[in-house]
Amino acid sequence: MYGISYWFLPAFSGCVWLGTLLGMLGGWVANGEPQYPWMDGQTIAFISHVGATYWGKPLFIAGSATAQVAFVLCFISERWLRHRGRLTHNYTTAEKALSVCASIFAIIGACGLILLTIFDTRRYPPVHEAMLAVFIAGYIISAIFICAEYQRLGIFFREYRILRASFWIKLTFIIVEIALAIAFGVTQYRTADNSAAIIEWIIALMYIFYTWSFIIDFLPATRTKHKDHRFPPVRAADDEMAMNTQHQGSMTNGPVYSSGGHYGDTESHGSQQPMQQGERAGPSQNF
Predicted local distance difference test score (pLDDT) of residue 127: 95
Rounded to the nearest 5°, which phi and psi values hold at 9? Answer: -60, -55
Residues in the chain: 287
| Measured distance CA(276)–CA(25) in Å, rounded | 53
The answer to whether the CB of 217 falls within 8 A of the CB of 162 is yes
Secondary structure (3-state) at 229: helix
> Highest mean pLDDT: which of 31-35, 37-41, 79-83, 231-235?
31-35
Nearest to 242 by CA among 149, 146, 152, 147: 152
Predicted local distance difference test score (pLDDT) of residue 209: 92
With 50 as the cut, is the pLDDT of residue 18 above it?
A: yes
Q: Which residues does 92 contact at the CB level (< 8 Å), separation at least 6?
A: 152, 236
Secondary structure (3-state) at 263: strand
Q: Which residue has the higher pLDDT, 113 or 242?
A: 113
Q: Which residue has the higher pLDDT, 54 or 3?
A: 54
Rounded to the nearest 5°, which phi and psi values hold at 150? Answer: -70, -35
With 90 as the cut, is the pLDDT of residue 47 above it?
A: yes
Average pLDDT value for the chain: 81
What is the average per-residue pLDDT within 119-125? 92
- pTM equals 0.76
With 90 as the cut, is the pLDDT of residue 62 above it?
A: yes
With 50 as the cut, is the pLDDT of residue 258 above it?
A: no
| Measured distance CA(114)–CA(128) in Å, rounded | 10
Instruction: Quickly count: other Cβ atoms within 10 Å of residue 245's Cβ.
Output: 21
With 60 as the cut, is the pLDDT of residue 67 above it?
A: yes
Q: Which residue has the higher pLDDT, 157 or 269?
A: 157
Predicted local distance difference test score (pLDDT) of residue 227: 57
> Highest mean pLDDT: which of 88-97, 158-167, 199-208?
199-208
Q: Which residues does 178 contact at the CB level (< 8 Å), separation at least 6?
A: 140
Rounded to the nearest 5°, which phi and psi values hold at 224? Answer: -120, 30
Instruction: Quickly count: other Cβ atoms within 10 Å of residue 254's Cβ.
Output: 13
Percent of the chain with pLDDT over 90: 51
Secondary structure (3-state) at 183: helix
Q: Which of 101-105, 159-163, 208-212 has the lowest mean pLDDT?
A: 159-163
Predicted local distance difference test score (pLDDT) of residue 233: 61
Q: Which of 45-59, 72-86, 213-227, 265-279 has the lowest mean pLDDT?
A: 265-279
The answer to whether the CB of 98 falls within 8 A of the CB of 54 is no
Predicted local distance difference test score (pLDDT) of residue 17: 96
Secondary structure (3-state) at 158: coil
Longest dimension (CA), the chain: 72
With 60 as the cut, is the pLDDT of residue 24 above it?
A: yes
The answer to whether the CB of 35 falls within 8 A of the CB of 41 is yes
With 90 as the cut, is the pLDDT of residue 135 above it?
A: yes
Percent of the chain with pLDDT over 70: 76
Q: Which residues does 93 contact at the CB level (< 8 Å), separation at least 6?
A: none
Predicted local distance difference test score (pLDDT) of residue 66: 97
Q: Which residue has the higher pLDDT, 99 or 254?
A: 99
